[in-house]
Amino acid sequence: MSGRLKDKVCVVTGGGHGFGEAMAKRFAEEGAKVVIADINRTTGAKVEGEINASGGAKTAFFQETNVTSRASWEKLLEASLKEFGRVDVVVNNAGTTYPKKASHTVTEEEYDKVIGVNMKSIFLSVTVVMPYFMDRKAGTILNISSVGGIRVKNGLVWYGGTKAFVNKITEGLASEYGHAGIRVNAICPILAYTDLAQAFMGVDDTPENRHKFEASFPRGEALKQNSSLGYVANAAVYLCSDEAAFVSGICMPVDGAATVYAAGVGK
């Protein structure tokens, strides 16, 4: 542990699995106290237990949270302050999608869910947490977006639209609240091999299809060495640390050059 996040209290939504779990564990390794906010009690409590067991002290706290509910956000902030006394970082990681398919066949229920989890959740986080950060004249918000918000993919148009929203509001919030000592950034990851991988790929999540995916962009080979979960967690540590004190308003692709390659750069 190098202590890059020593004494910081970091709230991670969707912290019970995927990118959220990876970030929560890396934050704890770097000395942070971590609040794992997740709607799934089983996975959230599991990550809490694993972090506390590895650290030898209570460095993680699980709070059951529905990120589409204002009351749940208010309870999350209250519980975090009660447990650790402060909040320094909020990571808006909770997200969802629907199976890749023609945009006109997406159901209203699927659309409402992706809008609620991917967009409304960040609106609620800002309206609940920003006043606290403004009173402290300090705070960091990290939004987990997607490369799909930079280049929207066929079959995932509505999902991509929600992530384009995340990118633009990240820039806007960084501008609006920078004078209050608050930083806002985003990470735009590429596909991770999680339970949502098949929905994003639109094909079965098999070794063969993973190989095809990895061969489709310049640094795809690196996914075999360290999944995108680990790369995103490493980027998050930097953006949430004091090393990035002058970094705000960026949307950082963590994608092995996939976005620029798709845009034809260098071809």
pLDDT for the residue 255: 85
More confident residue, 188 or 264: 188
Percentage of residues in the chain with pLDDT exceeding 70? 95
Match 């209290």 to its residue by tokens: 9
Residue 264 pLDDT grade (very low, low, confident, very high; cuts 50, 70, 90): low
Which residues are CB-neighbours of 193 under 8 A, at least 6 positions away?
A: 205, 210, 223, 227, 228
pLDDT for the residue 21: 97
Indicate if the pLDDT at residue 217 is higher than 80: no
Is the pTM higher than 0.95? The answer reads no
**Catalytic positions, please?**
159
pLDDT for the residue 11: 99
Separation of alpha carbons 160 and 123, rounded Å: 17
CB atoms within 10 A of CB 105: 10
Percentage of residues in the chain with pLDDT exceeding 90? 77
Could you tell me which of 116, 71, 74 has the C-alpha nearest to residue 97?
116
More confident residue, 230 or 10: 10
| Structure tokens, 115 | 């809008």
List domains and CATH numbers for the chain.
9-194+227-253 (3.40.50.720)
pLDDT for the residue 2: 77
pLDDT for the residue 226: 63
CA distances from 125 to 40, 82, 117, 191, 243 (A): 19, 18, 11, 25, 24
Average pLDDT, the chain: 92
Indicate if the pLDDT at residue 1 is higher than 60: no
Could you tell me which of 56, 66, 13 has the C-alpha nearest to residue 31?
56
Average pLDDT over residues 149-158: 94
| Structure tokens, 111 | 């659309």
Chain segment 50-70, per-residue pLDDT in tens = 999 997 678 999 999 999 999
- What is the distance in angstroms between the CA of the first residue and the CA of the last residue of the chain? 41
Chain segment 155-211, per-residue pLDDT in tens = 999 999 999 999 999 999 999 999 999 999 999 998 777 777 677 777 777 778 777
Q: Long-range contacts made by residues 176-180, C-beta under 8 angstroms, separation at least 24?
A: 177/130, 177/133, 177/134, 178/248, 178/249, 180/133, 180/134, 180/137
pLDDT for the residue 143: 99
Degrees, nearest 5: CA angle 166-171-172:
95
Indicate if the pLDDT at residue 263 is higher than 70: no
Separation of alpha carbons 27 and 236, rounded Å: 8
pLDDT for the residue 266: 54
pLDDT for the residue 12: 99
pLDDT for the residue 225: 62
Question: Cα 252 to chain center, whole Å?
Answer: 12
Chain segment 61-118, per-residue pLDDT in tens = 999 999 999 999 999 999 999 999 999 999 999 999 999 999 999 999 999 999 999 9
Indicate if the pLDDT at residue 265 is higher than 80: no
pLDDT for the residue 138: 99
**Burial of 122: CB neighbours in 10 Å, binned 0-12, 13-18, 19+:** buried
For 101-218, list the strands marked E by DSSP.
Answer: 139-144, 182-189
Which residues are CB-neighbours of 137 under 8 A, at least 6 positions away?
A: 180, 181
